[in-house]
Amino acid sequence: MTYDKNYFLSLKKQFEQELFESVLPFWEKHSPDKKNGGYFNCLDRDGSVYDSTKHVWLQGRQVWMFSKLYREVQQRPEWLDLAASGMKFLRQHAITPQGRVHFTLTADGKALYTQRKIFSECFYTLALNEYAIASGQTDLQQEALQEFEKIWEFSQDASLVGRPSTPGDPGFKTLAIPMIMLNLMEELSGDNHSKFQTEVDTCLAQIKKHVIDQTVYENISPDGGIVNTSAGRLLNPGHAIEAGWFLQHWAIRLKDDQLSELATNIVRWSFDKGWDKKYGGIIHFLDGGGYNPVQLEWDMKLWWPHCEALYAHLLNYFTHRDDADLQRFKQTYDYTFKHFPDKEHGEWFGYLNRSGEVTHRFKGGPYKGCFHVPRTLWLCHKLISEKVDDL
């Protein structure tokens, strides 16, 4: 299989067109709340607002996305203005009196719900840090570092976010926490790779425990073993693939060949297990013991695992130049661009059934916003731009 420089240049052009002519215009046009600030997240296929609830994960992710594009692609005033609107809304409304970050808000910023998890804090901090750099407000960057210190404590002790301890609780260690912390530390540390050395080492060690017999388990026992329940055997291929490229970024930063090999294999193993050999696409959930997952949506095909796989395979290829990774990329690319983009209204559908039919027509919902699709398109475009001349 031979892919020359022209192949990657054509990919780069497609990613650029999809990002700047389809995906971003959809969010720029339909998501801004011009009355209250921030963004409407729940957008129907044509961009109309079907629910005015504002989801803080998605508010923070969109601030991060437009701040990042402003800083690394082009200093368009409208992008910084969009980021500023979301940041102002979050700073005014998202913080609880106890210093936590709410999960959902009304359109005008009244609190609706606060999770007993750390992810609202994480995406708020990602937004704060990237907006601070883009806008030149160094005081906000210092505030982001202070937020991180609090999040780190939360990540090591769930009782600090109000999580109750119960007698039968297996004390699961979840993959989600160390992987999001690695991503957060990558963003906060900038070029100073040793800034969070102890915390990075802790997260790397935690993630490695989730890899058992070439399988990445979502939840493990405190000592790193498999818990023989549905939750203990849960596999989430898309999540593991995302964790793989987070690890690869750190392997590159740390010049750690062993970590790079593990990161590459996590992506390969998880993709190969999750790929639907009958219909194509990445299955949402699997059971490590071969049973049916209990999640009713287990065999659906979601937008975000395919986004993660596109970038992870491309990153693996440019890291190791193994054609097997490029073949996986092509496999993912063909399925993704056949099924998810909406050529009529722009942006991508998020949810398909197992055979690849769209099940939910909306473009934005409680978990789908201006993040996974534009982040992947931008990362792939950036990677090709950096590496194509070396081919």
Beta partners for 219? 174
Tens of pLDDT along 134-149? 999 999 999 999 999 9
Q: Which of 41-50, 52-61, 192-201 has the lowest mean pLDDT?
A: 192-201
Q: Which fold has domain 170-338?
A: Glycosyltransferase (1.50.10)
The structure tokens listed for 379 are 């990362």
Segments making up each domain of the chain, as ranges: 1-164+361-391, 170-338
Q: Tell me: pLDDT of 162 over 90.
A: no
Q: What confidence category does residue 158 fall into, taking pLDDT thresholds of 50, 70 and 90? A: confident
Q: What is the mean pLDDT of residues 298-305?
A: 98
Q: b vs e for 119-149, b when ≥16 Cβ sit within 10 Å of the residue's Cβ?
A: bbbbbbbbbbbbbbbbbeeeebbebbbebbe
pLDDT of residue 256: 98
Beta partners for 42? 51
Longest dimension (CA), the chain: 60
Other residues' Cβ atoms within 10 Å of the Cβ of residue 4: 8
* Cα four-point dihedral sign 25, 30, 31, 32: positive
Q: What confidence category does residue 2 fall into, taking pLDDT thresholds of 50, 70 and 90? A: low
pLDDT of residue 163: 85
250: CB partners within 8 A, 6+ apart: 182, 186, 200, 204, 256, 259
- Report the alpha-carbon distance of residue 181 to residue 226 in Å, rounded: 23
93: CB partners within 8 A, 6+ apart: 102, 105, 109, 110, 111
- Report the alpha-carbon distance of residue 64 to residue 187 in Å, rounded: 10
The structure tokens listed for 184 are 């957060």
Q: How far is CA 328 from CA 176, 216, 248, 311, 351, in A?
A: 24, 18, 17, 11, 21
> 1-164+361-391 and 170-338: same fold?
yes
pLDDT of residue 390: 84
Tens of pLDDT along 309-345? 999 999 999 999 999 999 999 999 999 999 999 999 9
pLDDT of residue 185: 98
Q: What is the mean pLDDT of residues 178-198?
A: 95
pLDDT of residue 238: 98
- Report the alpha-carbon distance of residue 378 to residue 68 in Å, rounded: 10
To the nearest whole percent, how much of the chain has pLDDT over 90? 94
Torsion, Cα of 81, 74, 16, 176 (10° steps): -60
Q: What is the mean pLDDT of residues 39-65?
A: 98
3-class DSSP assignment, residue 100:
coil
Mean pLDDT for all residues in the chain: 97
CB contact at 8 A, 162 and 116: yes
In the CATH scheme, what architecture does the domain 1-164+361-391 have?
A: Alpha/alpha barrel (1.50)
Other residues' Cβ atoms within 10 Å of the Cβ of residue 189: 19
- Report the alpha-carbon distance of residue 83 to residue 204 in Å, rounded: 31
